[in-house]
């Protein structure tokens, strides 16, 4: 478990919206963060289109002139929504800049904007609970997390963002090490109570999980922080979600396996399953 100084304070957030009620949680979380940290918020909506579709299915589309009218109407509606968010943010003393992109896929537009803007975090909404068997496979959120160069905060609908009790999960990999460093920085900046957990899927893994949380506690102590530790039993994602509920965690911090190719998603990963089930926002930390 390597040590590190606290990450730099947040300066730029890229919050993604699609105009749905589900994305309101992401916007609210970004505004809360901006009020507490003084960072600037960029709000993005991506208009998707299918290039060349009219050439393959001419009978299914209206005439080109009407296409342009529809596109213009869509753009106008998006700009109106974004301007309303800008006014809402200004009323709360937050600087917010609207961004609009057109792309063949929403996640491509988000990643293009992230590359151009280089935000500290991307903030996205989650469309409700997904159920025990349902994952985020193929979703916009999963694809953004899989390819994003920066940390991604996923906020469930109606979930408030707070930092009183922050839970960080570790399997002692370089990815979870990055998550732990980020959690330490958050605790320092926000005065959070920090809870460190590691899951043992079998009896034979209990000793290793105990060693992981002991190293986490030692590093936190070295940096002047107190870390409550828990060794969890069972499937990691289930154990983490149950522990977060039992400890009333406001935020869960987990590591990501990062970019592994254009077709890579988070399918079946602990991070994805935690995102799909967590009652609170989840911060997925990218390994630098």
- Asked if the structure places residue 162 within a domain, the reply is yes
Q: H helices then E strands: how many in the chain? A: 9, 10
Q: How far from chain centre, in Å, is Cα 151?
A: 7
Confidence of residue 72 (pLDDT cuts 50, 70, 90): confident
**Is 83 inside a domain boundary?**
yes
Contact 252, 281 (CB under 8 A): yes
DSSP 40-107: EEEEEEEEE--TTHHHH-GGGS--HHHHHHHHHHHHHHHHHHHHHHHHHHHHTT--EEEEEEEESSHH
Q: For a pLDDT cut of 70, what percent of the chain falls above it?
A: 83
∠ Cα 241 177 219 (to 5°): 100
pTM of full prediction above 0.75: yes
Residue with tokens 């998550």: 179
Per-residue pLDDT tens digits for 157-172: 888 899 999 999 999 8
**CATH value at residue 215:** 3.40.50.12370
Domain count, the chain: 1
Domain assignment of residue 1, yes or no: no
pLDDT exceeds 50 at position 153: yes
Residues 42-53 have a mean pLDDT of 80
Q: Per the domain annotation, does 82 fall within a domain?
A: yes
pLDDT digits (tens, 9 = 90+) for 199-215: 999 999 999 999 999 99
Q: Is residue 68 part of a domain?
A: yes
Label residue 265 by pLDDT band (50, 70, 90). very low
Q: Is residue 24 part of a domain?
A: yes
Domain boundaries, position 71? 12-285
């Amino acid at each position: 478990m390597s040590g590190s100084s606290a990450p730099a304070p947040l300066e730029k957030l890229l919050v993604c919206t699609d105009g749905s009620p589900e994305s309101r949680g992401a916007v609210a979380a970004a505004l809360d963060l901006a009020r507490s940290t003084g960072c600037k918020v960029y709000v993005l909506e991506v208009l998707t289109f299918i290039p060349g579709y009219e050439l393959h299915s001419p009978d299914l589309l209206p005439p080109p002139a009407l296409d342009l009218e529809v596109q213009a109407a869509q753009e106008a509606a998006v700009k109106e929504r974004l301007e309303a968010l800008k006014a809402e943010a200004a009323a709360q003393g937050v600087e917010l800049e609207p961004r609009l992109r057109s792309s063949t896929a929403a996640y491509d537009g988000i990643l293009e904007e992230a590359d151009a803007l280089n935000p500290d975090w991307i903030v996205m909404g989650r469309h409700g609970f997904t159920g025990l068997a349902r994952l985020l496979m193929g979703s916009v959120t999963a694809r953004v997390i899989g390819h994003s160069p920066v940390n991604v905060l996923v906020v469930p609908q109606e979930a408030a963002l707070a930092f009183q009790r922050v839970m960080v999960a570790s399997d002692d990999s370089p990815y979870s090490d990055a998550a732990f460093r980020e959690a330490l920085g958050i605790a320092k900046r926000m005065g959070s109570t920090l809870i460190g957990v590691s899951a043992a899927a079998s009896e034979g893994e209990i000793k290793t999980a105990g060693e992981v949380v002991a190293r986490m506690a030692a590093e936190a102590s070295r940096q002047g922080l107190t870390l409550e530790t828990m060794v969890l039993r069972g499937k990691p994602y289930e154990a983490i979600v149950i522990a977060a509920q039992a400890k009333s965690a406001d935020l869960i911090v987990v590591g990501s396996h990062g970019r592994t190719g254009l077709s890579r998603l988070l399918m079946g990963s602990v991070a994805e399953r935690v995102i799909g089930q967590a009652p609170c926002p989840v911060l997925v930390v990218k390994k630098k």
